[in-house]
Amino acid sequence: MSELPIVQDTPRQAQRAGELILKSIPPRDPRAGGGRVEPLPMSMEEARRRGWDELDIVIVTGDAYVDHPSFAMSILGRVLEAAGFRVGIVSQPDWKNCRDWQRFGRPRLFFGISAG
């Protein structure tokens, strides 16, 4: 019987994972008196307000987008944002035309698609 591999230096890996999770907590928006967190952009206008002229990743989901940790695409988007990527969300796109898919233009890296 083969043994499971032993991961060396687990405390350091756990610390790094914890740092990334803490970093993914969005900062307060100073324009709103420091009390409001801006959701991930759902339009190019919202992205431009963040000073972004293009996105790295566009997440497309069949679910409604709610910027709350009980929603998977919110968690995924925030963790990617904390890692330094510019992330936008397309929520419940109209499958009968291409307008929703074109709202951000072509992302620098990829479209991430989830059924919801």
**Contact by Cβ (8 Å): 112, 71:** no
For the segment 63-114, what is each residue's pLDDT rounded down to a tens digit? 999 988 889 999 999 999 988 999 999 999 998 999 998 999 999 999 999 9
Smallest CA-to-CA distance from 95 within 64, 45, 55, 61 is with 61
Q: Is the confidence at residue 40, as pLDDT, over 70?
A: yes
Smallest CA-to-CA distance from 108 within 60, 72, 55 is with 55
Predicted pLDDT of residue 96: 92
**Phi first, then psi: what are they for 100, rounded to 5°?**
-65, -35
Q: In whole numbers, what is the pLDDT of the chain averaged over residues? A: 82
- The percentage of the chain sitting over the pLDDT mark of 90, rounded to a whole number, equals 53
Predicted pLDDT of residue 32: 47
For the segment 13-35, what is each residue's pLDDT rounded down to a tens digit? 667 766 766 665 665 555 545 55
Q: Is the confidence at residue 38, as pLDDT, over 90?
A: no
